[in-house]
Structure 1
Amino acid sequence: MSFENQLKEEMRLVLLRLLNEMPSYRGNSSTLHSGLDRWGLSFSRDQVKTELYWLKDQGCLSIEMEDPAVLVVKLTERGQDAVENRTRIHGIKRPSA
């Protein structure tokens, strides 16, 4: 696996973890972008949105509002299962034990 793919898998897990910690399991792409930065993961806002759409396609989150500037997303049960290591989703880093 390439280093770029490893970074993407890590970013996807961190995005789900951030949503899992937010009130009502909801957040927006801007806040999540800032959260990634705090975890030492530096990605563009466009990359964050691309990965949020990818996570939506995997059933890990739903998109509640689409705007060119910001996406509002909500963690799904499947996404929470991935964060809490109850399910394995190819393309998302598995949480450490």
Structure 2
Amino acid sequence: MSDYNALVSEHARIAILRVLEDAPRYTSNVSILASALPRLGISHTRDQVVTEITWMKEQGLVETETSGDFMIVTATTRGVEVAQGIVKHPGIQRPRAGS
């Protein structure tokens, strides 16, 4: 993965966690998350969003539930702490202070 692609992935991951942090019950679905990223200046396809979510699941930052092609994503306590900048996690952009 190029440095640029790694940087985009780090930003996409924090953006996903921050969207989940704002969502009721820290839960959303892939379609909403894929729609939210371009509005935040991150061009990711649905497949790329699923890839980022899968990576974050392996890291213990989100949990997923799948029914057919439909995936529900919920941030874990650790994922919310990363979104809030309370803790750092390698591979995820740390949010700016005051944001």
Structure 2: tracts of 5 or more residues without a match: none
Report runs of 4+ in structure 1 exceeding 4 Å deviation: none
TM superposition shift of 1:43: 0.9
Once residues 88 and 48 of structure 1 are traced to their aligned partners in structure 2, the CA distance between those partners, rounded to angstroms, is 21
Percent identity between the aligned chains? 36
Separation of aligned partners in 2, 1:37 and 1:94? 19
TM-score normalised per structure 1:
0.93
1:91 alignment partner in structure 2: 91
Distance 1:70 1:13 in 2: 22
| TM-score, normalised relative to structure 2 | 0.91
Q: CA 1:66/1:89 → structure 2, altered by over 3 Å: closer, same or farther?
A: farther
Matched, 1:70 2:80: no
* Equivalent position SS for 1:62: strand
Count, aligned residues: 96
User: Matched residues in 2 for 1:70 and 1:41: separation?
Assistant: 22
